[in-house]
Amino acid sequence: MSYLVAVFVLTLITLIVAQSFNFVFGLGALLNLAHLSAYAIGAYTTAILATEHAYPFWLYFPLSIFVSAFFSLLVSAIATRLSQDYFLIGTLAFSALVTALLINWKSLTRGVLGIPGIPRPPFLTSPFVSPELAFLILVIVVTLLSLAILLYLFQTPLARALRAQGELEAALVSLGRDTHLIRTLALVISSAFAGAAGSLIALYLSYIDPSSFGLHEMVLVLSIVILGRPGHFWGVIAATFFLCLLPEALRFLDLPSSVLGPLRQLLYAVILFGVVFQRRAVLFPAVRRI
Amino acid sequence: MENLAILPQLLMNALISGSILALAAVGLALMYGLLGILNFAHGQLMILGAYLLLFLSQTLSLPLLVAAPLLVFAGIFLAVTILHLTILPFRNRSPLLCLLSTLALSIVIESTLALLFGVNVQTLAVGLTPAIYQFAGVFVTSLQLLIVCSTLLILALVAVIMGYSPFGRAVRALAAHREGAVTLGNNERQTVTIVFALGTLLAIYGGVLVGYDQSLQPYMGTSFTIKAFAAMILGGLGSVGGAIFGSYLLALVENLAIGLDLGPWSIPAGFKDAFAFCVILLALLFRPEGLFQRGQRKF
C-alpha cells in the first residue's frame, strides 16, 4: 500500500513538472533546459525555510513558487532574446550555474550533503488517515489545481500566441504582439508550477541534495512531452503515467540501485530518441521564413 | 607581491586545460559551421573515447601501439553511425529535433558507461610515473608537455588543412553556400562525414588526454560540452580559429580567477566550473556574435 502511495505521489509531482514544461516547450518550442533548475529552487526554498526558519506551510509554499518564478524572470531576461540554438545554450548555462551554486554555496545549501529532516506541514497529521495518505491527498489537491489552471491557460490567447511565435515569429510581430513578453510570461508561468512541484518533492522526501536535480533528470520530462505529443494537454498526462510506471517493472528484477538508476535513464533516452526519430516528419514543423 | 609568484604556474595550467578544451571545441565549431547543428553529445563522445581506450588497454591489456589504431577505427565507426542515425535524418527540419536526438544520445552514452564501468573514478595513467620538470618556478610533467605540444601540432595541422587544402576549400564552400557548392559538384555527404569523423577523433583524443592527465567518470561529459559551447560562443559560433582562441581564453580566465590570491575576494576553487557558465551568460548578454565578429548574427 505504501509502495503504491509512493509511486502515485512521485507520478503526480512529475505530472506537474511535465505539464508545465509542455506549456513552454510543447506550445512555444522553447527548449528550456533550466526548467528543472526552477524545480530545484522551489525544493531548496522550501527546505531552507521549513527547517532553519521554521516557516509555516502557508508562507513557504507560495514563497517557493515566487522564488522559482523570479529565477526564471532572470533566465528570460537573457534567453528570450535568443534564437533556438542560443536559447538552448543560454538555458543550459543557467542550469549548470544553479547546480554549481547548489553544490558550492555551502552556507546556504549544505553542498553535496543536502538538507535532511524537512518537516511535513503539521495540518497533515490527522487521527483518521495515515501520514502517507494525508500527504497523497495534499499532492492530489495541488496537482488537480495546477492542471486546472494549466488547462485554462492552454486555451487562452497567450497559448495561441506562444504557439505562433514558435512557428512564425515574424507574423506575430507584424500583428503588433510583443514576442519577448510572450516568451517571458510562458517561462515565468511554467517555472512557477515547477517551483510548486519542487516544494512538494522536498516535503515528501524530507531530504534533498543537488544530485536529484541534475540535467540528466531532464530526459524524463523531455521524453514525456515528446511521447505525449508536444502541446497536447491530455497526451502528456497519459505519457506521464506510462513513463513513470514503466520503470517500476524493473524493480521486480531485483537489481542493485547502482544499476537501476542508469538503466532507467537509458530507457528514457532510448524512448526519447525513438519517438523523435519516428515522428520527425510531424514533430515541430521547420521554422518558416518569409 | 608574493601572490604573483604563482602566475607562471597558472599560465602553464591554463595552457594545459585550454589545449584539451580546444580539441573539443574545434570539432564542435566545424560541425556548427557546416551543418548549423549543435552536437549535444560532444563532451560525452570525448569521455566515451577515453573509456574505450581504458577497455582496450586495461581490460584487454593490449599494448598502446595496438590499442591506438583500434581506437581510431572505433572512433570513425562511431562517428559515421552517430552522424547517420542522430544527425542527418533531421536535416532540413526544425533544429530542435537534432538537439533532442543528440541530447538523448548523450544520456545513452552516459548511462551505458555507468552500467559497464561503474560510477567510480578511474584513470588511464595506471602504473605511469611521468618525469616532472621544473623551470622558472613552473612544475610540469612530461605528460603535460606532450599534451600541449601534440595539441598545438594537431590544431596547426587542422588549421592548415581547413585553410589551404582542396578538402578545406570544399568544407568552406559548403559552409558558405550549400546550394552553390553542391551544384558545382561538391559531394556533400562525403564532406560532412569526413568533417564529423575528424571532429569526433579530435574529441576522442581530448578525452584520452583527460583520462591520462586527470581522471575519468561517466558523468563528466556534460561539463566538457558546456565549456566547449562557451569557448565557441567567445570566438563566434562556427568559427574554428575563434573556437581555439576561446578555449585558451576561457582556460586562462578560469585558472587566474581561481588561482590568484585576492585576499578576501578570493574565489573558492569549487566555483571553477561556474566560470564557464557565467562567461556564456555574459557573452550572450553583450556580444552574442562572438568577441571579434562584426556584422549581424542570424536570429
Cβ-based contacts of A285 with chain B (< 8 Å)? 94
- CB count within 10 Å of CB A238 equals 14
| A49 CA: distance to closest CA in chain B (Å) | 25
Number of neighbours of residue A116 by Cβ within 10 angstroms: 13
- Contact (CB<8Å) B278/A88: no
Q: Is position A73 within any domain?
A: yes
DSSP A71-114: HHHHHHHHHTTS-HHHHHHHHHHHHHHHHHHHHH-HHHH-GGG-
- Residue A128, domain member (yes or no): yes
Spell out which residues of chain A touch residue B93, defining contact as CB-CB under 8 Å: 280-281, 284, 286
> What interface predicted TM-score (ipTM) does this complex get?
0.88
CB contact under 8 A, B38 and A280: no
Q: Which of B226, B271, B285 sits opposite A104 (nearest CB)?
A: B271
Q: Which of A75, A27, A69 is nearest to A194 (CA)?
A: A69
The nearest CA of chain B is from the CA of A87 a distance in Å of: 9
What b/e sequence results for B187-218 when a residue is b if at least 16 CB atoms lie within 10 Å of its CB, and e otherwise? eeeebbbbbbbbbbbbbbbbbbbbbbbbebbb
- Structural domain of residue A82, as residue ranges? 2-214
Does residue A82 lie in a domain region?
yes
The tens digit of pLDDT for each residue in A199-227 reads 999 988 888 888 878 777 888 999 999 99
User: Mean pLDDT across chain A, nearest whole number?
Assistant: 86
B-chain residues near A86 (CB < 8 A)? 284, 288
| A15-29, A113-127, A179-193: the lowest-pLDDT one | A113-127
Q: Is the minimum CB–CB distance between A282 and chain B shorter than 8 Å?
A: no
User: Which residue of chain B is at minimal alpha-carbon distance from A103?
Assistant: B270
Residues on chain B touching A92 (C-beta within 8 angstroms): 226, 229, 280
Whether A225 is covered by a domain: the verdict is no
Give the pairing of strands B138-141 and B132-135: antiparallel
Closest among A168, A189, A210, A45 to A118, alpha carbons compared: A45
The alpha carbon of residue B132 is apart from the nearest alpha carbon of chain A, in Å, by: 32
> Which positions 98-127 of A are in contact with B (Cβ < 8 Å)?
100-101, 103-104
How far from B18 is each of A8, B11, B12, B219, CA to CA, in Å? 48, 10, 10, 21
**Domain assignment present for A231:** no
- Which of residues B92 and A67 earns the better pLDDT score? A67
Nearest-angstrom CA–CA distance, B111 and A264 = 9
User: What's the rounded Cα separation, in Å, for the pair A47 and A43?
Assistant: 6
Residue A58 within any structural domain of the chain? yes
Phi first, then psi: give them for residue B234, nearest 5 degrees. Answer: -60, -40
- B97 chain-A contacts, CB cut-off 8 A: 276, 280, 283-284
A127 within a domain of the structure (yes/no): yes
- For residue B104, the model assigns a pLDDT of 92
Which of A104, A258, A270 shows the shortest C-beta gap to B270? A104
Q: Which residues face B122 on adjacent strands?
A: B216
Residue A31 lies in a domain: yes
Residues 75-94 of chain A whose Cβ lies under 8 A from any Cβ of chain B: 78-79, 82-86, 88-90, 92-94
Contact A285 B94 (CB under 8 A): yes
| Yes or no, beta carbons of A273 and B229 under 8 Å apart | no
- B69-98 burial, b at 16+ Cβ within 10 Å, e below that, comes to eebeebbbebbeebbeebbbebeebbbbbb
Which pTM does this prediction carry? 0.88
Domains in chain B, CATH or no CATH each: 2-286 (1.10.3470)
Q: What pLDDT score was predicted for residue B295?
A: 46
How far A203 CA lies from chain B's nearest CA (Å)?
28
Question: Total domain count for chain A?
Answer: 1
The per-residue pLDDT for range B171-195, each reduced to its tens digit, is 888 888 888 888 887 788 888 899 9
> Which pLDDT tens digit goes with each residue over A2-51?
888 888 999 999 999 999 999 999 888 888 888 999 999 999 999 888 88
Closest-CA residue to B189 (of B178, B200, B201): B178
